[in-house]
Amino acid sequence: MRPITASDLMNPEVLTVREELTVRELADFLLDNEISGAPVVDGEGRLVGVVSMVDLVESASGEEEPAAERSESDFQVSAQEGHLSEDDLEDLDESDLRVGDIMTAEIHSVAEDATVSQVAMAMLKDHLHRLLVLREGRVVGIISTSDLLGLLVDEG
For residue 133, give the CATH number of its domain: 3.10.580.10
Q: Strand pairing of 109-111 and 130-135?
A: parallel
> Residue 1 domain-assigned?
no
Distance CA 117, CA 134 (A): 17
Q: What is the residue-level pLDDT of the chain in tens, covering all 156 positions?
A: 889 999 999 999 999 999 999 999 999 999 899 888 899 998 888 889 999 888 888 887 665 454 444 444 443 333 344 566 666 677 676 778 999 999 999 989 999 999 999 999 999 998 888 899 999 878 899 998 888 998 888 654
pTM over 0.85: no
Contact partners, residue 123, CB within 8 Å, separation at least 6? 129, 131, 143, 145, 148
For residue 112, the enclosing domain spans 6-155
Q: Which of 104, 29, 100 is nearest to 65 (CA)?
A: 104
Distance CA 128, CA 77 (A): 10
> Residue 127 domain-assigned?
yes
> Residue 14 domain-assigned?
yes
Domain count, the chain: 1
> Residue 50 domain-assigned?
yes
> Residue 119 domain-assigned?
yes
User: Which pLDDT belongs to residue 59?
Assistant: 82
> Residue 98 domain-assigned?
yes
